[in-house]
Amino acid sequence: MQLYVERGFEQTTVAEIAARAGLTARTFFRYFADKREVLFAGSAELQEHLVQALAAAPSSDSPMHAIAAALDAAAAALGQHHEHSRQRQSVINANAELRERELIKMASLSAALADGLRQRGVPEPDASLAAESGIVVLRVAFERWVNEPAGAELSQTMRDALDRLKTVTTAR
C-alpha cells in the first residue's frame, strides 16, 4: 500500500512490492495473481461475512432488515483500519482499471446477497432489489467513511446511509 501511495499504482512493479515485503517476485505470485489483487485480497472473506450474517438474520426479518444485518457484518470487517481503507480507496479512485475491478467485486457481493435472499424465500425481483440496494448503501457509506476523520465509525455511517435510502424511497 505504501508503494502505491508513494509511487502510484501504475508505476509500482511486482518486484518492488515483493522487495518491500522481503519476498521474491515468485513468492508474491504464490499469494496474488497480479498486483491488483493486493488491493482486493479480502474480497472472499468479506463476501463470506456478508452471506453468513444474512443467513443468521431472523427468518421473520424483511429482506432489507436481513440486508442491514449483512451490512453490520461488513462494517465490522471493513471498519477496523480507517487509514489503510482511506489509502486503499485513494489508490483505487486514481485508476480506472481498479475502479472497474472494484465494481466487479461489488457486483459479486450483490449476486451473493441476492442468492442468500432467494434461499430465504425472497422472490424476484425483491431479492435482487434488496441486494443491489444494500451494495449501494455499502458503497456510499464506505466512500463517506474513508473521507471522514479517523475515529468515525463505519457501522454508524452505514446505518445513516441505510436510513437515507429509506427516506429517499418514501419521500414525495
Query: In this predicted model, what pLDDT tens digit does every residue of 10-26 receive, in sequence order?
Result: 999 999 999 999 999 99
HSE-up of residue 73 (Cα within 13 Å, Cβ side)? 23
Instruction: Quote the CA–CA distance of 123 and 117 in Å, as a whole number.
Output: 8
Assigned fold of 42-170: Tetracycline Repressor; domain 2 (1.10.357)
**The dihedral of CA 91, 97, 103, 105: what is its sign?**
negative
Domain span(s) for CATH 1.10.10.60 in the chain: 1-39
Domain span(s) for CATH 1.10.357.10 in the chain: 42-170
Q: Is the peptide bond before 149 cis (omega within 30 degrees of 0)?
A: no
pTM value is: 0.90
Instruction: Quote the CA–CA distance of 140 and 131 in Å, as a whole number.
Output: 14
Is the domain defined by 1-39 classed in CATH 1.10.10.60? yes
Q: List, for residues 29-85, the tens digit of each pLDDT value.
A: 999 999 999 999 889 999 999 999 999 999 999 999 999 999 999 999 998 889 999
